[in-house]
Amino acid sequence: MSFPVTYYCPHCEALVELERDGYLADKAVTPFPFEGWNYVAPDDPFEDRDDVDGVVFTCGADGLLVDNAESGCGERFYLSFVRFENGIEIDPRTPTEQVELGERPVRSRSGGPAGPTGPRGPSGSPGPNDPGGFW
Ligand SMILES: [Zn+2]
């Protein structure tokens, strides 16, 4: 069962409409793609597919504008779904500059107080889902 969901073009704020199944969480609509996300056109199947992480719109060109009086700006924008890896939500805002740093990380062998696995995730998740513990 699907129903229409509307999104605003981040370039010109035209409203587009897309049929969604509803159980996939939307992360964001942005004028640029996220690193590592896989986008398909609205015509392609995208719901419940492991290899699809979002939809790329072409404003006005893909026939999804809600208001027929609008013509769209022709720019692309991106609907990104929430992605999870090992039960943890992937944060697409991780800056790509991190991998462009020239210096190599050297703190792994310096004997810091943290264990070799480093700090836990934000605020941790105490409970039976802790993959590091054993029972
Ligand atoms: Zn637009």
pLDDT at 58 over 80: yes
Under 8 Å between Cβ of 11 and 65:
no
Q: Which residues surround ligand 1, an ion (CB under 5 A)?
A: 9, 11-12, 14, 59, 72-73
pLDDT per position as a tens digit, 62-114:
999 998 888 999 999 999 999 988 899 988 765 544 444 455 555 545 454 55
| 97 alpha carbon – ligand 1 mean position (Å) | 28
- Per-residue pLDDT at 130 exceeds 60: no
Closest CA to 75 of 62, 59, 63: 59
pLDDT value of position 98: 44
**Spacing, Cα 9 to ligand 1 middle (Å):** 5
Q: Of 10, 54, 52, 36, which Cα lies nearest the Cα of 91?
A: 36
The two most distant CA atoms of the chain are separated, in Å, by 65
* Domain coordinates in residue numbering, the chain: 3-85
